Amino acid sequence: MIRIEHLTKVFSGEKVVNDLSFVLKAGTSTALIGPNGAGKTTTLSMLTGLLKPTNGSIRMNDTQDIRKEIGFLPQYPNFYPWLTALEFTEMTGKLNGVPSRDAKKQAERVLDFVGLTNDRLKKTSTFSGGMKQRLGIAQAIVHKPKLLILDEPVSALDPVGRREVINLLKQLQQHSTILYSTHILNDAEEMTDQLLFLKKGKLVEQGSLKDIRTKFDSFRYKIQFTSKEEASLFATQSQLPTTVEESYAFIEIKDGYPTMQELMSQLIVMPFSILKVERVTMTLEEIFMKVVGQ
């Protein structure tokens, strides 16, 4: 377990990370979520030891030097372009304490895990964005760290690269503790036990996805019309408070009202072509906007 207490960083008199306290339980995955400038990179840099906190503490059970137990993938990793993937991973392993005699074998093992066996002898300068990110994960796990920290691991990737990296992280999640920052919330929804919402350096909300949903989620009906005009016309004629986005109309459900039957009885007498009616929850993105907008 890693316990972070009152973590604070001041730059030029301004608290860019302001009194953060949270716990990373062993074997869980935590997403640090916040808009640009919220303090995510600064927080992760303090955890990895790259920045000294102005205040606060970071403690790991039974460990004096927490830095040895951390694997880190920075937001903009710098791979020496003249090295091959194998040379780079082996070097990182040695720098992180893997004994020289084991480093090559261990590098080969992690490159295999991230699907780069066939590319291990290619120079890193020839790698695509997705391959670089997978190499970044390999170098972060080569010394078998207890805590894996990743700064925006999928933000710069296309959907295929993103899927590959998410699948790798889901596998790693089974035997490591993971902390990653992101502003791509669909990914967080898929692979996270704990969410930390950061706004202007402060933790404004923290908890499991379930807890946060229970606290902030609301249910709505989503009605799909054939056009935006039809959806807007429906909104003006409806007795129910309705919002419109593109060809969809949304009606919030409050205290169980309206029921689907009540809604259908209103819809059925209106002269619109309706393609679909469904009861939906908020996306994590909408919940995030609700939380950080407060």
Ligand X SMILES: Nc1ncnc2c1ncn2[C@@H]1O[C@H](COP(=O)(O)OP(=O)(O)OP(=O)(O)O)[C@@H](O)[C@H]1O
Q: Which residues bind ligand X (CB under 6 A)?
A: 11-12, 16, 34, 36-42
Shortest Cβ distance from residue 203 to ligand X (Å)? 13
- The amino acid at 136: G
Shortest Cβ distance from residue 217 to ligand X (Å)? 25
Shortest Cβ distance from residue 98 to ligand X (Å)? 29
In this structure, what token pair is assigned to residue 177? 């503790």
- Determine how β-strand 194-199 pairs with β-strand 248-252: unpaired
Phi and psi dihedrals of 191, rounded to 5?
-135, 40
Is the Cβ of residue 134 or residue 199 nearer to ligand X in the bound state?
A: 199
Is the Cβ of residue 9 or residue 146 nearer to ligand X in the bound state?
A: 9
Shortest Cβ distance from residue 151 to ligand X (Å)? 7
Q: Is 17 helix (H, G, I), strand (E, B) or coil?
A: strand
Beta bridge mates, 223: 249, 277
Find out whether the peptide bond into 258 is cis, omega within 30 degrees of 0.
yes
What would you measure as the largest C-alpha separation in the chain, in angstroms? 78
Is the Cβ of residue 11 or residue 82 nearer to ligand X in the bound state?
A: 11
Shortest Cβ distance from residue 39 to ligand X (Å)? 4
Is the Cβ of residue 42 or residue 133 nearer to ligand X in the bound state?
A: 42
Is the Cβ of residue 71 or residue 74 nearer to ligand X in the bound state?
A: 74
Q: What is the dihedral of CA 27, 285, 155, 86, to 10 degrees?
A: 20
